[in-house]
Amino acid sequence: MSTKDFDWKLVLRSGLLGGAIAILLSLIGIVTGFNETYIIYKVITFGELLVLGPILAFSFAALRRTSSSDSGVRFTTGALAGLTSGLVLLAFVGIGQVINLRAVFVNASPDLYAMLSYNQSLPIGMLLRLLVSGLVGLIVAGFTLLPTRLKQALGQGLIYVILIGLMGRLIGTVMTNWGFVSLLFEWMFASSGMSFLGAIVLFLLVGGLAYWRAGRPKVKPRLEPKKQQTVRWATLAGVGLVLIFLPNILGLWFSEILDNVGLFILMGLGLNIVVGFAGLLDLGYVAFYAIGAYTIGVLTSPELGFFNLTFWQAFPFALIVALIAGVLLGLPILKMRGDYLAIVTLGFGEIIRLLALSDWLKPWLGGTQGIQRIERPVIGLGNFTIELISQQQLYYLILAGIILVAFIAFRLRDSRLGRTWMALREDEDVAVAMGINHVATKLTAFAMGALFSGIGGTIFAAKIGSIYPSSFQFLVSINILSLIIVGGIGSIPGVFVGALALMGLPELLREFAEYRYLFYGAALVAMMLYKPEGLWPEARLKLELHEDEIPPPGDPVPSTEGS
């Protein structure tokens, strides 16, 4: 081993950061809070993983920045980075024995010190902690020396074991009445986390599948057009069947999550036209959501006693009112761009909410008391009718709305109007110079976005059965804009992925109690760091962001196959 290739500063910095973050997680209480939550029963807890995770991550970071390919240098780097993190933890526990850290940090408790020392006497426990930290660094170093194909397989196997081990109770709520599958679940899972044998089987299955897939040829044989069409229709039919039976498979709680995600998909598809296609930053988009909901409420609620229409009779009027509101918003802001446009639309959203709260419109909109007893949608023919009340029934109404809106959005994207929107987004001055009518184009974008949001508002009002001004806060607009950014601005599939990530993930993370938003925030940071263009980006945006990675013409394309 050459000492010239060894970077002491890198090792110490990585080790110190790994230990410091492990201490930070310990002091916020999450380590002891999940010390009884097993990933693999009687093998490793989630609390222990939170201590070892930063050590593993920063050891890996140090090894990635190490230029030497010498195995001795890499093993030494990993081991010393892990040992340094272990020394930091050892120093923390030692200081805690001398100074009462609990006077400042409430979670610096004897339980935490016992957990960090593996419930052993202090000298033996800290020696074990030091050895485990160094061993983690050695394992990471050995992992980096493996062939790429094997690394991918091992990494995917470990990730799946950790995720499924953590989500065991959540998965159990779905599989309770699945017959043979529920028996398989009981075999794979213990009272907390996965059983050891279940974890081994899952690791081998996932890792083996990943290893096999990595070895397949990168260039897939091209199918004939007829076979391609057959595969496409078969895929659509399979997805359709899954979507039809999804509420019955997942149960009531997951159906509620699906309904909420579906409403945000509806609104996201509308805002994606305004922001993603036309490039008009709208921060008051919740206003059209509120207009659709309040129009349905005014027209159908017997509490107000104005019209007493059915849901389907009032539905087209609500859409017309939302569309007109979109045009009225667009008229005074046609000459505005960028931040000025965002501020004006933000003001419009707040104006609508304050009008709904005002005493002036209280006889018509209910003021702070909102509107109750909103008519539910009823479907059927003759004497056979069904009132859509439950989450599982409303799921199909939301699904139908998503299919309709997504179809329109896809057709608009590839139409002449869609290309006109994109031309305005790229450079409005050049677009106008080429003869594009920017007035009509912008108004159409606002109108279509308002129409889609109005559909979401009408279904929301029918789902809840009552509406209040507090349901239409500015944060709703921010959430919709965020899901577009996370999914990929301008990408229609990205809206679906972004809604699932932004609105569905917090509900799935309820397993982590009060710490769920900590993990949620960490997941968002990771998404933006590793996928800045979005989880499912538009092809043009992806090309722009990764332009530097495209090799010049004539250069050989680097091989991606594992060694």
Q: Is the pLDDT of residue 56 over 50?
A: yes
Higher pLDDT, 158 or 555: 158
Is residue 527 pLDDT above 60, yes or no? yes
Ordered structural domains, the chain, with CATH: 3-145 (no CATH), 161-218 (no CATH), 249-544 (1.10.3470)
Residue with structure tokens 């023919």?
381
| Cα gap 244→369, rounded to integer Å | 37
Average pLDDT taken over every residue of the chain: 86
Query: Is the pLDDT assigned to residue 5 strictly greater than 80?
Result: no
Task: List CB contacts of 45: < 8 A, sequence separation 6 or more.
Answer: 34, 35, 36, 37, 38, 39, 193
User: In the numeric block, which tokens belong to residue 118?
Assistant: 């593996």
Q: Do 472 and 286 meet the contact criterion of CB atoms below 8 Å apart?
A: yes
pLDDT at 562: 39
d(CA 254, CA 508): 9
Query: What number is the average pLDDT over the span 105-120?
Result: 91
pLDDT, tens digit, 9 for 90 and up, residues 149-204: 999 999 999 999 998 988 887 777 777 666 666 777 777 888 788 899 999 999 99
pLDDT tens per residue, range 349-400: 999 999 999 888 888 888 888 899 898 898 876 667 788 888 888 999 999 9
DSSP 8-state assignment for residue 192: S
User: Is the confidence at residue 477, as pLDDT, over 60?
Assistant: yes
Per residue in 261-294, pLDDT tens?
A: 999 999 999 999 999 999 998 899 999 999 999 9
Compare 7 and 12 and report the one with higher pLDDT: 12
Question: How confident is the model over 508-517, as a mean pLDDT?
Answer: 78
- Alpha carbons 173 and 186: distance in angstroms, whole number: 12
Q: Looking at the chain, how many residues does it have?
A: 563
Sign of CA dihedral 412, 415, 418, 420: negative
**Which tens digits make up the pLDDT trace of 210-239?**
999 888 776 666 767 777 788 888 888 888
**Are 300 and 374 contacting, i.e. CB atoms less than 8 angstroms apart?**
yes
